[in-house]
Amino acid sequence: MISIDKLSKLYAAGRISRRDFMQGATAMGVTIAAASTMAVQAEASTPKKGGTLRIALGHGSTTDSYDPATFENGFANALCYASGNHLTEINNEGQLQPELAESYSSDDAITWRFKIRKGVEFHNGKTLTPDDVIASLNHHRGEESTSGAKGLLEALEEMSADGDTVVFKLKAANADWPFIMSDYHFKILPSVDGVADYSGGVGTGGYVVENFEPGVKLEASRFPNYWKENAAHFDGLVQTSVIDSVARQNALMNGEADAIDRVDAKTVDLLAQVPHVNIVENTGTLHYTFGMRLNVEPFDNYDLRMALKSAIKRQELVDKILLGHGALGNDHPISSANMYTNTDLPQREFDADKASYHYKKSGHSGPIPLAAANAAFSGAVDAAQLIAASCAEAGINVEVNRVPDDGYWSNVWNNDAHGWSACYWGGRPTEDWMFSAAYVEGSSWNDTAWRGTAAADEFNAIVVAARAELDTNKRKEMYFRCQALIHDDGGATVPMFANYINGLNKKIGHGKMAANWDMDGGKASERWWFN
């Protein structure tokens, strides 16, 4: 006999009428009132077409561009996901699935075959081919490439087209290669004479870019020939950069925005009391960091780094900055949401005596600059002040340098002019992906410049070996060691993992909210609808 849950899903999918649903539900003993309520709930979960989604994001910079090699913040990510697709994607359940690749397979994790989906059209009318895929990935390769994802493709030996299939030959086995292909940088672009063309934001995605003002807003309209069924339900999209958290929340409360990200933990309870607002919160891999660059003095000194790590009150940051909407970090980027979290690693805690010992041993004197702006994350400046205060208890003088929000990601973060600065990382679904993006020596996003030490060399060797290791127990040991090496020698201070907190108008319908990025994995425009 069919279950009531199955009956509700059939009705939500439009496969039975409301009358059939009501008759079926009452036949199962459900009261008419209860069945009516269930019908309303099922109707609310059924995507509907139409309307313009207005999103206010706490990201965006005047240095943003259409070039996916430059994508570095949530505004650019959302632009990417609205206008384009990738070979694979992480769904809202956190599982990897094919996207522009119809399927993928490998017998040895060295040679991978990705069959490219047929009948997919770019916004400019061009039909997707394997050559477009190859050109799009080559855009991030080469000696002159400055792509943030260049390091992820270091493992690639060669690419070739075989009919409707792209064949990847890797330098060594990598069981996570299909995950890497979902990285947001790897938006598939139309190609001309073997060169990827990113002009105008053209892609295969659900929305066509009509207007893009970097650091201000994006305006887009639904692509009528979008290849995905039951996706991209809105007629239009307006995405605005609103860095100030109070201004974002006011926009949601006043009806000027339908959804906002990065709701401030300090005011989330008050915002939740607004009648037309829903708060959607989930825990994933998002973490806040204060990275020390080892190629900038005095952070090249191990004892200086250890002194600062020992002088941070992590629980205080979780309590006062996140107000409990998160969890303790342990100076490495792998969260409890990942498969191989090092649970054997002791939690680093504030230790003024240890911090003072290492600071004296470092031989340093004078103020240590720490750059921060709330563009890094909401409360970053306050967090920096708290770090300065706890360091002072250990006799360490930290001087907080509040820098402008605009241009933060190009002028401050990952810049040798600022040896210690605030940052947020969305994290990655797999350990190898996270390490490859931000910690291996070849990554341009190695924002701590962690290279050249004995620990860094060991780390890089283990990362390469772990990619080819198919024994999960051995892989676990390898990734545990990688986390321990970052925790001890690396320049990253990772004091806290933050929850994603989004504010939505109650008229927005959505399924389970993804936790791999903010705003439903960055795919709000594709996955949501108006009730």
CA angle 178, 465, 188 (to 5 degrees): 25
Per-residue pLDDT tens listing for the chain (531 residues) = 577 766 666 655 555 666 776 777 777 777 776 666 555 555 556 899 999 999 999 999 999 999 999 998 999 999 999 999 999 999 998 899 999 999 999 999 999 999 999 999 999 999 999 999 999 999 999 888 999 899 889 889 999 999 999 999 999 999 899 999 999 999 999 999 999 999 999 999 999 999 999 999 999 999 999 999 999 999 999 999 999 999 999 999 999 999 999 999 989 999 999 999 999 998 889 999 999 999 999 999 999 999 999 999 999 999 999 999 999 999 999 998 888 999 999 999 999 999 999 999 999 999 999 999 999 998 999 999 999 999 999 999 999 999 999 999 999 999 999 999 999 998 888 999 999 999 999 899 999 999 999 999 999 999 999 998 988 899 999 999 999 999 999 999 999 999 999 999 999 999 999 988 899 999 999 999 999
pLDDT number for residue 456: 98
pLDDT number for residue 419: 98
pLDDT number for residue 138: 97
pLDDT number for residue 516: 86
Side-chain-side CA neighbours of 217 within 13 Å: the count stands at 13
> How do the domains of the chain map onto residue ranges?
4-44, 85-201, 205-282+500-530, 287-498
For residue 299, give the 3-state DSSP assignment. Answer: coil
DSSP annotation string for 24-53: HHHHTT--HHHHHHHHHHHHHTS-----EE
pLDDT number for residue 164: 97
Is the preceding omega at residue 275 within 30 degrees of 0, hence cis?
A: no
DSSP 158: E
pLDDT number for residue 30: 74
CB atoms within 10 A of CB 502: 24
Helix (H) or strand (E) holding 129: none
Sole residue written with tokens 């496969």? 15
What's the CATH fold of domain 287-498? Dipeptide-binding Protein; domain 3 (3.10.105)
d(CA 41, CA 32): 14
The pTM for the full model equals 0.79
d(CA 295, CA 9): 57
d(CA 233, CA 258): 15
* Structure tokens given for 29: 């003993």
Three-state SS string over 171-239 comes to CCCCCCHHHHCCCHHHCCCCEECCEECCHHHCCCCCEEEEEEECCCEEEEEECCCCCCCCCCCCCEEEE
pLDDT number for residue 41: 56
Q: Are 379 and 290 in contact (CB under 8 A)?
A: no
Helix (H) or strand (E) holding 398: strand 398-402
CATH of domain 85-201: 3.90.76.10
Q: Are 453 and 295 in contact (CB under 8 A)?
A: no
pLDDT number for residue 23: 77
Nearest one of 354, 301, 303, 309 to 494, comparing CA atoms: 309
* Structure tokens given for 332: 């490495």
CB atoms within 10 A of CB 50: 11
Q: Are 501 and 286 in contact (CB under 8 A)?
A: no
pLDDT number for residue 151: 87
What's the CATH fold of domain 205-282+500-530? D-Maltodextrin-Binding Protein; domain 2 (3.40.190)
Residue 107 CA to its chain's centroid (Å): 30
pLDDT number for residue 429: 87
